[in-house]
Amino acid sequence: MELRADRIYAAFLRLTRRLSNRQMMMLLAVVVGALAGLGTYLFEMLLYAIKTGLTNWFPVDSAHFLFLIYPAVGIILATLFVRYIVRDNISEGVTRVLYAMSSRNSRIAAHNCWTSIVGGATTIGFGGSVGPEAPIVLTGAAIGSNISRLVHLNYKHSTLLLCCGAGAALAAIFKAPITGVVFVLEILMLDITAASVIPLLIASITATTIAFTFRGFDPILAVTLAPEDAFELWQIPLFILLGVLCGLMAWYFTSMNARIGDFFKRIDRQYKKWILGGAILGILIFVFPPLYGEGYEGFTSLMHGNEQELFDNSLFYRFRDIDWVVVLFVIATMFFKVIAMASTNAAGGVGGTFAPSLFVGAFTGASLALICNLLFHWEVSIVSFTLVGMAGVMSGVMNAPLTSIFLIAELSNGYGLFIPLMITACISFAVDYYLDPDSIYTKQLRKKGELLTHDKDQSVFVFLKLEDLMETDFLRIKENMTLGDIVHIISTARRNIFPVIDNFGRLLGVVQLDDLREDMFKPQKYGRPISDYMIPPPDKILEHEAIQSVMEKFEDKHTWMLPVVDKQNHYLGFISKSRILNAYREQLVKIQQ
């Protein structure tokens, strides 16, 4: 394998020896975009084959008992595939891409070029209520990462190629090239420069062209705004209200997802997760069939004004013509979608939150429109409010108003709704950000200090790890020692500070050489216990603590050296502010090369 990689690299050097770095990156962007587009097509074909084969023969006028069984089967198959074949975590695709950028030098394992396709299609095809976008984004990012590894690119160019793959995959699945670019700039937080944006555009356009070639020019959501769907000024208060509702739903989305995930983590056996997750998902889909899979058919029916189609295969099929039943069914489906999505992922399924956020947004917008029409007879456009609601919830869930605005604008084949999209997306983002400043992708990474942002200072600190900078060559002093014992020890010491530990290695305090100088040349005082000279450290650093937090402690305590301990207070070493600053300067040079 290594020999083959060397041959590929040698061939690449021969082909590109006359190209500049920018030209080379443009060429590689075409390759990554084409492969990401093909990967997206394969994913969609596999998903379509599984889903059609399992459900296409169900009668529309009644519920089918297999809805109770399929989701559990899909989760079990996906979990076994991940555990025994992949042997790596392939869930939460976008979060894993962000983690690779911050902590793995933009390296993603080669198996992610195909394993996310199989795991995601299996989960969703059998009814897992998650989205295909996260596995697709991880697949595209893995393609970009591994091509960069084959041609020996540095971190900066590897990150750019990884982002090209992620953006291209998203562009291909939605046939929306601008959305792919904005997604990378806003969510993956790549720097906005000509050197980065042009390869992103090339990769997204290439992937979209591949999608057009194999899947035609019809948008993924075939909806066209009719004259009665056009935006009118009197609707602005309603879109403001929709923005607030979408922000609250986005907060419900992220908080409920986190709570269900934490609940499943406390379950000690995988088979118990299968039983609970399969039962929750199976029952919800049996009662609310639009929850099956990613749910595109559900909000497509809403956008075409065919609310009755939501009742296909449902226990409530015979009530589909009663207006208030339709409203209650839509609202219930909206809330239960989040529970179904979180249960799918927590039980072991492979999928993302992108499509579920669009689903919840569509049903939020449709709910408001249906209520206004039912109670006030205003004839509000369900199509418009469904589309705008999609942008609203997505904006709040992902903290990405621009991505949501451009996605819906591209999906609806025009910019006729641009003003309401901007109003609702921005208000939703503001409401959700007030309630929770982290997106669904960044919450865990920020807690661990592993999140890259557009703030260069903070981003550089993410690359620095405490265990790499900690110094351990300090002489340890036992608590029962005397000054005389210390004098003989420090005669060979290179440091001027010494940790004092007990018999179990726990840190009791520190002794500074300056505090010993006055008495160390007075033999009559050699019998004094070392505790007389010991002082508590200004603060302590926990192992694996983020460097940003360490620097805050240095600034707060006005010191240049702090001890590092574990959670049981066992002494591990010292960390110095000067060493962090030196490493910071070195890392800053590295990522800019």
pLDDT of residue 450: 53
User: If you ran DSSP here, which 8-state letter would residue 570 be given?
Assistant: B
The two structure tokens encoding residue 243: 């923005």
Residues of the chain with pLDDT under 50: 454
For residue 465, the Cα-to-chain-centroid distance in whole angstroms is 21
Category of 541 on φ-ψ map: left (φ > 0), alpha (ψ -120 to 50) or beta: beta
**Structure confidence by residue, pLDDT tens digits, 391-449:** 999 999 998 899 999 998 888 766 778 899 999 999 999 999 999 888 887 776 666 55
The radius of gyration of the chain from alpha carbons, rounded to an integer in Å, stands at 29
**DSSP assignment of 495-511, as one string?**
-SEEEEE-TT-BEEEEE
**Structure confidence by residue, pLDDT tens digits, 347-361:** 989 888 888 999 999
Q: Are 157 and 320 in contact (CB under 8 A)?
A: no
The strand pair at 497-501 and 507-512 is best described as antiparallel
53/439 Cα distance (integer angstroms): 36
pLDDT of residue 574: 93
> Edge-to-edge, what's the strand order for the sheet holding 477-478?
477-478, 497-501, 507-512
pLDDT of residue 205: 95
The amino acid at 545? E
Angle (CA) 169-175-176 rounded to 5° is: 90
Helix, strand counts (H, E) of the chain = 24, 6
Which stretch of DSSP H or E encloses residue 123?
helix 115-125
- pTM given for the model: 0.81
Q: Which residue matches tokens 């005389």? A: 484
Cβ neighbours of residue 3 closer than 8 Å, sequence gap 6 or more: none
Distance set, CA 301 to CA 91, 171, 358, 371, 547 (Å): 29, 23, 14, 17, 50
| Helix, strand, coil percent values for the chain (each to nearest 5) | 65, 5, 25
Residue 484, phi then psi, degrees to nearest 5: -65, -40
User: If you ran DSSP here, which 8-state letter would residue 84 be given?
Assistant: I
